[in-house]
Amino acid sequence: MAASFQCFVTGTDTEIGKTLISSALLHALAQRGVRAAGMKPIAAGTEMRGGVMHNDDVDSLMAASSVELPMEWVVPYLLREPAAPHWAAAMEDVQIEPAHIRACHARIADVADAVVVEGVGGFRVPLAGDYDSADLAADLGLPVVLVVGLRLGCINHALLTAEAIAARGLKLVGWVANLADPQMRHVEANVQAIKERVQAPLLGFVPRLHVASAANAAEHLNCSLLPGWLG
Ligand SMILES: Nc1ncnc2c1ncn2[C@@H]1O[C@H](COP(=O)(O)OP(=O)(O)O)[C@@H](O)[C@H]1O
Ligand SMILES: [Mg+2]
């Protein structure tokens, strides 16, 4: 049986809250008793703990999920170097195969009711050769949730990303305004400017959280605006 709710979470940049928001979505689903699973197709940057390679994004997604899955399904490509993915892969002589990612995704979608896939970097980050994160989202055929990291310049980044998502024939089903820069000025005016120009619902404004946990972020999201949301 295939998962009935799925999304691909992309962002205006790296380090702007994709993992936090993906984990919040998973947390919200899990709270409602949904069998929810996170996936991070490619993660770059690991540390050894207890003889096992770990990546922070993967750990967060797995912690927020309510289905226990083998780590090699959740993260088909776990690369050591914290670098751009195509480069981190090249450094280890790893060939990123879209078919392998699709196969892992299909296995997860088979055993979970909801799957949240966290993208890699921004929407057009190269993954291998001329294959990039946008191709991956299109390959998986998932509706997209855009996390806008609120900081100076985010309006342009949000609109460019929305345009790129549409150009791939993908559906932007919602966006989240996440306060990436706590010093940002005119926050509301920026959110409003994006709201007026993006044809997808604003799922929530996430302020700077004292504790950036999935549960705390989830409190600021109205996930029921997402088509097909469970619970
Ligand atoms: N709203 C927020 N409040 C507090 N900390 C945040 C917030 N959003 C993101 N962070 C922190 O910023 C860092 C980058 O967020 P993360 O979700 O890992 O970004 P990405 O997945 O886009 O690289 C993390 O340490 C995260 O805990
Ligand atoms: Mg991340």
Q: What lines the ligand 1 site, CB under 6 Å?
A: 11, 14-20, 57, 178-179, 206, 208-209, 212
* Domain range enclosing 110: 5-225
pLDDT digits (tens, 9 = 90+) for 201-221: 999 999 999 999 999 999 999
User: What pLDDT, on the 0 to 100 scale, is given for residue 1?
Assistant: 60
Instruction: Tell whether the model's pLDDT for residue 231 goes beyond 80.
Output: no
CATH at 103: 3.40.50.300
User: What pLDDT, on the 0 to 100 scale, is given for residue 2?
Assistant: 87
Residue 231 lies in a domain: no
Phi and psi based region of residue 186 (left: phi greater than 0; alpha: psi -120 to 50; beta: remaining): left
Residue 230 lies in a domain: no
pLDDT digits (tens, 9 = 90+) for 57-96: 999 999 999 999 999 999 999 999 999 999 999 999 999 9
Q: Determine which residue's CA is closest to atom 14 belonging to ligand 1.
A: 15
Residues with Cβ within 8 Å of 131's Cβ and at least 6 positions away in sequence, in order, are: 96, 98
User: What pLDDT, on the 0 to 100 scale, is given for residue 37?
Assistant: 98
| Count of alpha carbons within 13 angstroms of residue 185, beta-carbon side | 0
pLDDT digits (tens, 9 = 90+) for 107-153: 999 999 999 999 999 999 999 999 999 999 999 999 999 999 999 99
Q: Determine which residue's CA is closest to atom 2 belonging to ligand 1.
A: 208
Active site residues per annotation: 40
What single-letter DSSP state applies at residue 224?
Answer: G
Q: Which contacts qualify for 211-219: CB closer than 8 Å, 24 or more apart?
A: 212/20, 214/20, 214/23, 214/24, 214/26, 214/27, 214/60, 214/63, 214/64, 215/24, 215/27, 217/17, 217/20, 217/21, 217/23, 217/24, 217/27, 218/24, 218/25, 218/27, 218/28, 218/31
**Mean pLDDT, to the nearest integer, of 24-28?**
98
Residue 44 lies in a domain: yes
Q: Determine which residue's CA is closest to atom 10 belonging to ligand 1.
A: 17
- Average predicted confidence (pLDDT) for the chain: 97
Q: Between vectors from CA 157 to CA 151 and to CA 161, what angle results, nearest 5°?
A: 140
Q: How many domains does the chain have?
A: 1
